[in-house]
Structure 1
Amino acid sequence: MSASSNLPAVTVLGLGPMGRSLAAAFLGAGARTTVWNRTPGRDRELIERGAAGAGSAEEAVAASDLTVVCVVDYDAVDQLLRPEAVTRALKGRTVVNLTADTPGRARDMADWAAAHSIRYLDGAIMTPAPSIGTPEAVFLHSGPQDLYEEHRPVLAALGGTHTHLGEEIGRAATFDIALLDIFWTAMAGYAHAMAIARAEGVTAGELAPFAQGIGAILPPLFATFAQDADEGTYSGEINPITSAVSTMSHVIALSESHGIDAGVMRAAEAMARRAIGLGHGTDGFIRTTEVLGRR
């Protein structure tokens, strides 16, 4: 740990893989770091590296003006922060909550914090634990701009890029869930593609380079389709929905001929057919963005 660091003290609550990585990055930057976890023993390596181990959550939050929380969900956050003794110890201090959950939970947490004179920033981590402390890490933040700027120097110790998305507290969680939606539906598609390939005698390794090629097509399409969605144009010039449905039916037919569940593609096909049924067959697939929100 650097003895010359001017970073303020920080407390980290939650020492799963991500929490341990956060604490290690603070330590590496020279911040006086206090750690606590509900499961005993997870702080051992961090204490050996110079962290201060706390005997309770109350003791941990009292050790620093800034507490960073990273646990499994907001139910776990509530269990950590809402006991009376911990809430009392947090009064006048700042909580940066990097736990993933919904925008509504973030707003509820901010209301609770305000009611108890606790300063609150919400956030999301968009990269895996090994990225923390490296240039590859990506953090999203939302909440009061002045509070973010005040704590930005110590948050920068976590590496990577930090983006303040605005003062509306739910924005970081909104971005997080939308981006996770992209990631997990893409991963589900990739897993399904490998199952189809394997059924036809193609190995995952053979498929992978071409799958990466498909992935490379997506970034410019994301930008184009975002403009379509924002402007309501939904151009089908590149590929109308009627054409998209035809290719989806091929995926479904091959899958089911091998007894492979085609539920994910059937869901996508149903979205497209709904748009066609509403008279949007010549539009692009992103027209389904509007259709999905209709009641």
Structure 2
Amino acid sequence: MSENENHERSTVSVIGLGQMGTRLAQAFLAAGYQTTVWNRTAEKADALVAQGAVRAATAAEAVAGSTLVVVCLPNYETVQGLLGPVAESLRGRVLVNLTSGTTEAAGRMADWVAGHGAEYLDGAAMSGTRLVGRPEALFVFSGSPEAFTAHRVVLASLGNAVHLGADPALAPLYDTALFGLAWGALAGFYHAVALVGAEGVDPTAFAAVATGHMPFVTSLMADHARQIEDGRYPNDDGTVEVHAAAMEHLVDTSEAQGVSTDVPELVKALLDRARAAGYGADGIASVVETIRKGEGHV
């Protein structure tokens, strides 16, 4: 079958039409796929039907409508509660679960789906709703490699679809970790905006400089990941001692400007802990050693 023939025959069902579910369905429609939609509150499907979606009268009808069934609901319990009565309809299909939850919940869901003769992909939308359908929107998936390969093109309608591995727990693990990473970066940005704003600097003017600086920061992530893998921490980017002193300066400057020190105090505590653990002369990536061991095991 040619790629064009495969595209023409591909169908997808979307169950759960909250803000994210609606955007998922719109992305599939925009890519030209026949898209069946269902939501407990039927009116939420109206706008999508006007855009060309097929309205399913029941969840069972939505499952039966496509080989690829995408669910986007509040939690795993809701997914299983909704699909439980129609579980036999899942046989021979692929269930893609874009619901946030724990790694344990993902494993249980994968086992439950497999027990009903279906393949399972756990997933997470890492770029919010605004970018869905654009190449820069990151979607991570884990679970059946065969299912991902078979439906890669359809899932790529959502954005950059990345398969992390066969373990279904990987998607929620990455989801949680990347959420923490994003908030760490944003917390630093918000503090920085408050700090320069105390001197009258416009946030957009600062952001223009800050975003130009970020490629250097992301390059450090790649380099420091290799250091962490090797367990060796060269101090080319400065020692823990040097950065601890610089962080003290940031705390002092923030206090002088009347800006909260919550964010730099957190980083200072990490650096102080690494210094106390004997990493003072090592590179700053050594901080990871005290994070993964926990404060009580320094």
Q: Where do residues 167-182 of structure 1 align in structure 2 (5 Å cutoff)?
A: 167-182=166-181
Q: In the TM superposition, what is the alpha-carbon distance from 1:136 to its structure 2 partner?
A: 2.3
> Residues of 1 paired with 2:216 and 2:200: CA distance?
26
Task: State the secondary structure of the residue aligned to 2:140.
Answer: strand
Indicate if the aligned counterparts of 1:106 and 1:173 stay in contact, CA closer than 8 A.
yes
Q: Where do residues 213-292 of structure 1 align in structure 2 (5 Å cutoff)?
A: 213-292=212-291
Does residue 42 (structure 1) correspond to residue 6 (structure 2)? The answer is no
Q: Where do residues 1-295 of structure 1 align in structure 2 (5 Å cutoff)?
A: 5-81=7-83, 84-158=84-158, 160-294=159-293, 295=297
Indicate if the aligned counterparts of 1:140 and 1:172 stay in contact, CA closer than 8 A.
yes
Distance 1:156 1:216, change over 3 A: closer
CA offsets, 1:243-279, max 9 Å, x none? Answer: 1111111222232344433222212111111111011
Q: In the TM superposition, what is the alpha-carbon distance from 1:210 to its structure 2 partner?
A: 2.2
CA offsets, 1:137-170, max 9 Å, x none? Answer: 3222211211212222322333x33222211111
Cα RMSD (Å)? 2.3
Q: Report which stretch shifted further, 239-248 or 136-145.
A: 136-145
| Length-normalised TM-score, structure 1 | 0.89
| Structure 1 unaligned regions, length at least 5 | none
> Residues of 1 paired with 2:104 and 2:261: CA distance?
33
> Number of paired residues?
291
Q: In the TM superposition, what is the alpha-carbon distance from 1:75 to its structure 2 partner?
A: 4.2
CA offsets, 1:109-140, max 9 Å, x none? Answer: 11222233332111222223343333223222
Task: State the secondary structure of the residue aligned to 1:290.
Answer: helix
Q: In the TM superposition, what is the alpha-carbon distance from 1:29 to its structure 2 partner?
A: 2.8
> Residues of 1 paired with 2:263 and 2:5: CA distance?
54
Indicate if the aligned counterparts of 1:5 and 1:29 stay in contact, CA closer than 8 A.
no
Task: State the secondary structure of the residue aligned to 2:9.
Answer: coil
Indicate if the aligned counterparts of 1:15 and 1:42 stay in contact, CA closer than 8 A.
yes
> Residues of 2 paired with 1:18 and 1:241: CA distance?
42
> Residues of 2 paired with 1:177 and 1:119: CA distance?
23
Distance 1:108 1:270, change over 3 A: same
Q: Report which stretch shifted further, 70-79 or 176-185.
A: 70-79
Indicate if the aligned counterparts of 1:121 and 1:142 stay in contact, CA closer than 8 A.
yes
> Residues of 2 paired with 1:76 and 1:194: CA distance?
40
Amino acid at match of 2:290: V
Q: Report which stretch shifted further, 278-287 or 85-94.
A: 85-94
> Residues of 1 paired with 2:269 and 2:23: CA distance?
42
- What fraction of aligned residue pairs are identical, expressed as a percent? 40
Q: In the TM superposition, what is the alpha-carbon distance from 1:214 to its structure 2 partner?
A: 2.6
Task: State the secondary structure of the residue aligned to 2:127.
Answer: coil
Q: Report which stretch shifted further, 65-74 or 42-51.
A: 65-74
Indicate if the aligned counterparts of 2:119 and 2:144 stay in contact, CA closer than 8 A.
no
Indicate if the aligned counterparts of 1:3 and 1:30 stay in contact, CA closer than 8 A.
no
> Residues of 2 paired with 1:101 and 1:199: CA distance?
39
Indicate if the aligned counterparts of 1:138 and 1:161 stay in contact, CA closer than 8 A.
yes
Distance 1:267 1:78, change over 3 A: farther
